[in-house]
C-alpha cells in the first residue's frame, strides 16, 4: 500500500468546515479550498483533530469524488457528505458499451442505435 493509499473513506466534510493551511493561511472554508487545490495539492492541519501539531498531516487534492482531505496519520480519505453521484453515474452509462461486439476485423455486430435513426434526405 502506498503512502497516499486510503485505508478507508469517510463522507463527513461540509463546505462550511474550516482548515488551517501549512503555508501560514489561518483558516479557509472547504468550498474555497476546493478552488485552490485545482492548481495542485495543498497541505494543512487536520480540522477534525485540533490538538494535532503537524502542519502537513492533511493532504488536500481533487480526486474521483471531488475534494478529498487525506489524513496521513490515520490514512482516511475524507470527502464531502451527501454527495450526489447521479451525474457521474449518468456519464459513466454513456461510456459503457451496450450489447455491441467487434470482430477481429473491426466490424461491429448487433444493431446500432444510430443506424435505426438514419434516414435519407432528398
Which tens digit of pLDDT belongs to each residue from 63-94?
888 899 999 999 999 999 876 655 666 666 67
What digits encode the pLDDT tens for the residues 47-62?
A: 888 888 999 999 999 9
Is residue 102 a contact partner of residue 95, using CB atoms and an 8 Å limit? no
User: The C-alpha cell of 79 is what?
Assistant: 470527502
Give me Rg for the CA atoms of the chain.
Answer: 22
pLDDT band for position 1 (50/70/90)? very low
Amino acid at each position: 500500500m502506498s503512502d497516499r493509499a486510503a485505508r478507508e473513506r469517510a463522507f463527513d466534510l461540509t463546505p462550511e468546515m474550516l482548515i488551517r493551511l501549512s503555508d501560514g493561511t489561518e483558516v479557509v472554508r472547504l468550498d474555497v479550498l476546493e478552488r485552490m487545490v485545482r492548481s495542485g495539492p495543498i497541505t494543512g492541519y487536520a480540522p477534525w483533530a485540533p490538538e494535532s501539531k503537524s502542519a502537513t498531516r492533511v493532504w488536500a487534492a481533487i480526486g474521483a469524488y471531488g475534494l478529498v482531505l487525506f489524513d496521513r496519520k490515520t490514512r482516511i480519505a475524507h470527502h464531502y457528505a451527501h454527495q450526489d453521484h447521479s451525474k457521474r453515474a449518468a456519464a459513466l452509462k454513456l461510456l459503457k458499451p451496450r450489447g455491441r461486439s467487434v470482430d477481429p476485423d473491426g466490424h461491429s455486430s448487433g444493431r446500432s442505435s444510430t443506424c435505426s435513426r438514419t434516414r435519407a434526405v432528398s
